[in-house]
Amino acid sequence: MRMKLFFYFLFTCICYSSFAQQRNIDSLKRNTDSSLNEVVVTAFQSKVRWKDAPVSVAVIMQKDLQNISNTSLLPAINAVTGVRMEERSPGSYRLSIRGSTLRSPFGVRNVKIYWNDIPLTDGGGNTYLNLIDVNQLTGAEIIKGPSASMYGAGTGGVLLLKSSQPFLPSFSNSFNASVSGGSFNLLNEQTGFTHQQNNFTTSMQQSHLQSDGYRQQSAMRKDVVKWDGSLQLKDQQLNFIFFYTDLFYQTPGGLTKAQMFQDPQLARPAAGSIPGAVQQQAAIYNKTLFGGLNHQYKISESFSTETSLMLNHTSFTNPFITNYENRDETNAAVRTKIIFHKKISAIDFQWITGGEWLYNHSRIDDYTNQNGYAGTLQLKDDVYANQWFGFSQVQINYERWTLNAGISLNNQMMHYKRLTDVNTNYVNTNNQNVITPRIALLYKINQHISLYSLAAKGFSPPSLAEVHPQDRIFHSELQPEYGWNLETAIKGDILNHRLQFDFALYDFELKDAIVIRNNAQGAQYFVNAGSASEKGIELWVKYNLINQPNNFLKVIDVWSSYTYQPYYFNSYVQGTNNYAGNAVTGVPKNNLVTGIDAATKNNFYLNIQYTQTSSLPLDDANDEFTSVSHLLQLKLGKHLTMHKTLVHVFAGADNLLNEVYSLGNDINAVAKRFYNPAAGRNYYVGVSLKL
């Protein structure tokens, strides 16, 4: 009944819009200018144009988010070279930057994430990226590779999410609502209110997303309420974010290759004495309340400060195949910077010094899983995790040269106690006073092209989920991974800005790499795996084939991103097995994403995205590889007005080639249950209103 009402509402809006008188007003026109030339990059506090930033950074703009399905960030992020976002089941995401998924069976680790400069990553090294609603974002930046100095420990990279609204010279209120639906009983609904004026903006948004899922035991539901805004005073600005997310998604589990091709909709079946995912009602329940503040204060013409505070609480429940876990998490963070900026003749000088502290307290209760319900208590754990770092960074711009150099001092501490064990004390792990430098030098060949080189040390301590994994053993022996990244790149535009490009070469030599293993019961744990050589090539190009605002077909952009990652283990001995020379697990050697973005004078648009991913090894022994996958996605829409209301009608399709493939693999899985089949050919359609 719910879906019938939705399609009736959608059909009414489309029919009404077909008879409405279209008016060409500025607020209706879709921004088809895809140029990055004037986009200001905020990574490393640089605040320069994309091509002038001495860092490998990709920019995802609001129009890029409009080009994809409004249920997930995945297509937009996967269009970025060197970045791979995976979905093991609806709602369960992994994010890999330059191969960092090696140590992440689920969730986001080894990648720092900030939202409007407020930390989302907790003191345990984990980020619940699936709590975010893509419709509530206005863009993002992705920093690739070790990002020492301003962002502390990490060998993967940094994701900077943005949702700020601009101040306006006059008072403005707007309301928005959207609804979409599609295959597998997909229903996605959002409403929102935004107020803007010369010194204050605020936005209140609500969203609901649900789906029955493609596979057995893969239904999901997510409800989000968010309030954010900015207040500007004479010399100060206060930004804030508050949100509450109630997330539920089922976890169907991995299949063998034979099971996947026989029935890709199957959930993990029972095997011997181990029950299946359906019987155990395997799922994740996550309820998180998050609050964050960011304060900016301009002390003088040269000095300013910026401070962020974060506090959140998560209630996490996971009926798993072999156990039932309840986790109660409290997180806090403080991030502060003192900024000195002065122009002296032809020199633009900036010096930033600051620090960040992340805190996590987790109470973890583990029970037997009695068909989806908590059974006998197995253990109770009490864990405290803290990370902090101090940093200092200098950036100097002189004529055609830009120097960016920084250093950070990193510390991580964990305190753990098993409350169900009698007469035990807290066990401590410490990784203290690790210094990570970074230096980058950029030269502007001319006004259109820049060349840069950088060297950065990466240091990534094990996360709480790795020190305290599914096998319920506290692995205090686990060591941080580290290494140096050397990189050089050229980027810019030619042919009167019509051709934009970004070409990068890097060499990251990783030591003590953290990799996943599975015990006989299928429970995951982690070990240090010697060293790995991670050399790669990243190429992104976009060509403006047509740019004729007065013609019917006014814009056609053709773009492509290519990633080459021939990673291999330098040294890796596990028991009697020597994996030296093997390809690094879970990383495809080649990945190609190509797209076409087109728009017409009467505000129709079409976006097509094709992804080809080469085979990748599923275990450290390289005994099994995935097949090459081909993914074709499409979105078609139209913008128009109806009685001063902006209307956006859209439809799209995913996996048009109906490939049987796994979008998220369980690497090193027991009994070769590597595969989590993605949905076959599926469709969606929707409408959004703004007034």
User: What's the pLDDT score for residue 82?
Assistant: 94
448 contacts: CB under 8 Å, gap ≥ 6: 51, 492, 493, 494, 497
Please check the confidence at residue 226 and state whether its pLDDT lies above 70.
Answer: yes
Segment 370-397 shows an average pLDDT of 94
Which comes out higher in pLDDT, residue 469 or 318? 318
pLDDT tens string 486-543: 999 999 999 999 999 999 999 999 998 887 777 766 677 888 888 999 999 999 999 9
User: What's the pLDDT score for residue 517?
Assistant: 74
The percentage of the chain sitting over the pLDDT mark of 90, rounded to a whole number, equals 72
Segment 180-189 shows an average pLDDT of 96
Segment 349-366 shows an average pLDDT of 96
Segment 619-623 shows an average pLDDT of 93
Residue with tokens 């609502």, as numbered in its chain: 177
User: What's the pLDDT score for residue 106?
Assistant: 64
Segment 275-279 shows an average pLDDT of 96
Cα separation, 175 vs 189, whole angstroms? 14
DSSP string, 216-235: TT--EEEEEEEEEEEEE-SS
Q: What number of H helices and E strands is found in the chain?
A: 5, 38
Q: Report domain extents, the chain.
A: 2-690
Segment 448-476 shows an average pLDDT of 86
Please check the confidence at residue 689 and state whether its pLDDT lies above 50.
Answer: yes
Segment 335-344 shows an average pLDDT of 96
Please check the confidence at residue 31 and state whether its pLDDT lies above 80.
Answer: no
Would you call 129 helix, strand, or coil by DSSP? Answer: helix
Segment 389-401 shows an average pLDDT of 96
User: What's the pLDDT score for residue 14?
Assistant: 38
Segment 107-136 shows an average pLDDT of 91
What confidence tier does 645 reach under pLDDT thresholds 50, 70, 90?
A: very high
Are 637 and 651 in contact by the 8 Å Cβ rule? The answer is yes
User: What's the pLDDT score for residue 522?
Assistant: 65
420: Cα within 13 Å, side-chain hemisphere: 12
281 contacts: CB under 8 Å, gap ≥ 6: 217, 250, 319, 371, 372
User: What's the pLDDT score for residue 575?
Assistant: 80
Structure tokens given for 539? 């190429």
Segment 20-40 shows an average pLDDT of 49
| H or E element that contains 19 | helix 2-19
What confidence tier does 244 reach under pLDDT thresholds 50, 70, 90?
A: very high
Segment 539-560 shows an average pLDDT of 95
Structure tokens given for 179? 């609804």
Residue-wise burial string across 429-439, b where 16 or more C-beta atoms lie within 10 A, e elsewhere:
bebeebebebb
User: What's the pLDDT score for residue 7?
Assistant: 41
Return the CATH architecture of domain 2-690.
Beta Barrel (2.40)
Would you call 2 helix, strand, or coil by DSSP? Answer: helix
Please check the confidence at residue 34 and state whether its pLDDT lies above 70.
Answer: no
Give the alpha-carbon dihedral of 47, 388, 112, 299, to 10 degrees. Answer: -20
User: What's the pLDDT score for residue 78?
Assistant: 94
DSSP string, 657-685: T----BSS--TT-GGG--B-BPP-SEEEE
Structure tokens given for 684? 């969606």
Length of the chain: 691
Segment 565-586 shows an average pLDDT of 91
Q: Residue 548 to residues 249, 551, 636: CA-CA distances in angstroms?
A: 46, 5, 20
Question: Which of the residue ranges 58-72, 86-100, 506-520 would you say has the lowest mean pLDDT?
Answer: 506-520
514: Cα within 13 Å, side-chain hemisphere: 30
Q: For residue 136, what is the DSSP state?
A: G
> What mean pLDDT value characterizes the chain?
90
What confidence tier does 465 reach under pLDDT thresholds 50, 70, 90?
A: confident
The percentage of the chain sitting over the pLDDT mark of 70, rounded to a whole number, equals 93
Integer Rg of the chain from CA: 25
Structure tokens given for 528? 């240090």
Cα separation, 24 vs 258, whole angstroms? 56
What confidence tier does 637 reach under pLDDT thresholds 50, 70, 90?
A: very high
User: What's the pLDDT score for residue 11?
Assistant: 40
User: What's the pLDDT score for residue 103?
Assistant: 66
User: What's the pLDDT score for residue 37?
Assistant: 66
Segment 50-77 shows an average pLDDT of 90
Which comes out higher in pLDDT, residue 669 or 504? 504
Residue with tokens 């810019």, as numbered in its chain: 492
Per the DSSP assignment, residues forming a β-bridge with 96 are 84
User: What's the pLDDT score for residue 286?
Assistant: 97
Q: Using CB atoms within 10 Å of the CB of residue 271, give its burial: 0 to 12 exposed, 13 to 18 middle, 19+ buried.
A: middle
Cα separation, 462 vs 383, whole angstroms? 14
Structure tokens given for 62? 């609001």
Please check the confidence at residue 345 and state whether its pLDDT lies above 50.
Answer: yes
